[in-house]
């Protein structure tokens, strides 16, 4: 299942953090690294700090946008502080996140997304996530280096895999098929088009689309449920045309 989980680093500034993150991944059995618009890559510093995980750095995928990096994923978990203005499902404990991620990874790719060294993920990038996770830390100084955060969450995934091997009970995610982020993106585009056509989006500052995005993220739609909603939108579209 770990082979279906990727670590995504967004606009990494220091190439050494790429190498250190790769090393953290390899110690816990993860191997798929994706870099979104890194400032400097490839770079000798990334290879040097990989210290035995050079293969992960060498094979890292590079994309221009986060949307590209997670398009095929059935779950995208952003590592960040809780954002009250975009209430996505939130894991307060990384061990609970790890169990859920492993369950989803049985259906398709799962991404753990880490933001920039200085200010993490932007609100727009969080909107590409289905969940958020925070790492409990000293409230007076809870700032972790990116590679440290990668190590903590990869460790939780590794531990969760060990525990799951002794627990054969099926999970909700094993019983329902989950849509990819690309499928969800097409749904939200379709929804936006219909809302515009019927004149529902009349207050630009109400952030209606953002709230609906968060609502459907919390609902964790199955592929069948998403198909029903797409069918409903198509029926509305035909009626208004």
What was the pLDDT predicted at 240? 86
Residue predicted with more confidence, 241 or 70? 70
pLDDT surpasses 60 at 223: yes
Contact 161, 207 (CB under 8 A): no
80 pLDDT band (50/70/90 cuts)? Answer: confident
> CB 111: neighbour CB atoms within 10 A?
26
Per-residue pLDDT of 111-145, as tens digits, reads 999 999 988 899 889 889 999 999 998 988 888 89
What was the pLDDT predicted at 84? 53
What was the pLDDT predicted at 210? 83
- Which ranges in the chain belong to alpha helices (H)? 15-27, 44-50, 54-58, 66-70, 94-105, 123-126, 146-164, 172-175, 181-197, 208-219, 223-240
Average pLDDT over residues 153-172: 79
**DSSP letter at 120?**
B
Residues 156 and 218 in one domain: no
Residues 185 and 97 in one domain: no
pLDDT surpasses 90 at 176: no
Of the residues 173, 191, 216, which one is the last residue of a structural domain?
A: 173
| Number of structural domains found in the chain | 2
Return d(Cα 213, Cα 207) in angstroms, integer: 10
Q: Would you give the distance in Å from CA 182 to the centre of its chain?
A: 13
Average pLDDT over residues 201-209: 77
Residues 127 and 196 in one domain: no
Residues 62 and 88 in one domain: yes
Of the residues 154, 173, 192, which one is the last residue of a structural domain?
A: 173
Residues 100 and 169 in one domain: yes
Closest CA to 126 of 136, 113, 107, 110: 113
pLDDT surpasses 70 at 163: yes
Write out the residue range of the structural domain in which residue 76 sits: 2-173
Q: Which residues contact 113 (CB under 8 A, 6 or more apart)?
A: 8, 10, 66, 69, 70, 76, 77, 78, 79, 121, 125, 128, 129
35 pLDDT band (50/70/90 cuts)? Answer: very high
**Residue 91: enclosing H or E segment and its boundaries?**
strand 90-91
Return d(Cα 83, Cα 67) in angstroms, integer: 20
Q: How far apart are the first and last CA of the chain?
A: 46
pLDDT surpasses 70 at 173: no
Bridge partners (DSSP) listed for residue 33: 7
Largest CA distance in the chain: 61
Of the residues 146, 173, 200, which one is the last residue of a structural domain?
A: 173
For the sheet with 61-63, list strands across it: 61-63, 32-36, 5-10, 110-114, 75-79, 131-133, 90-91
Residues 224 and 129 in one domain: no
Residue 130: give its domain's CATH number.
3.40.1280.10
Contact 38, 67 (CB under 8 A): no
Residues 105 and 190 in one domain: no
Per-residue pLDDT of 14-26, as tens digits, reads 999 999 999 999 9
- Residue 106, classified by CB atoms within 10 Å of its CB into exposed (0-12), middle (13-18) or buried (19+), is middle
Residues 166 and 224 in one domain: no
What was the pLDDT predicted at 49? 96
Residues 85 and 125 in one domain: yes
Residues 193 and 154 in one domain: no
pLDDT surpasses 80 at 2: yes
Residues 77 and 163 in one domain: yes
Average pLDDT, the chain: 90
Q: What is the pTM of this model?
A: 0.82
Average pLDDT over residues 57-86: 89
Residues 118 and 25 in one domain: yes
């Amino acid at each position: 299942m770990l082979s279906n989980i990727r670590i995504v680093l967004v606009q990494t500034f220091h190439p050494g953090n790429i190498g250190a993150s790769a090393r953290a991944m390899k110690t816990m059995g993860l191997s798929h690294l994706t870099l979104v618009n890194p400032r400097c890559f490839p770079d000798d510093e990334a290879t040097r700090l990989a210290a035995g995980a050079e293969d992960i750095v060498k094979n890292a995928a590079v994309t221009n946008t986060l949307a590209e990096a997670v398009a095929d994923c059935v779950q995208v978990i952003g590592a960040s502080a809780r954002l009250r203005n975009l209430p996505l499902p939130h894991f307060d404990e990384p061990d609970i996140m790890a169990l859920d991620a492993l369950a989803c990874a049985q259906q398709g790719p799962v991404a753990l997304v880490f933001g920039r060294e200085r200010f993490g993920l932007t609100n727009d990038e969080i909107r590409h996530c289905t969940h958020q996770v925070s790492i409990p830390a000293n409230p007076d100084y809870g700032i972790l280096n990116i590679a440290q955060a990668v190590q903590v969450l990869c460790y939780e995934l590794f531990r969760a895999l060990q525990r799951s091997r002794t627990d054969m009970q099926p999970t909700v995610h094993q019983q329902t098929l989950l849509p990819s982020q690309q499928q969800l993106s097409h749904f939200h585009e379709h929804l936006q088009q219909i809302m515009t056509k019927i004149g529902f989006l009349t207050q630009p500052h109400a952030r209606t689309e953002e709230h609906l995005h968060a609502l459907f993220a919390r609902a964790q739609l199955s592929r069948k449920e998403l198909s029903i909603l797409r069918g409903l939108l198509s029926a509305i579209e035909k009626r208004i045309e």
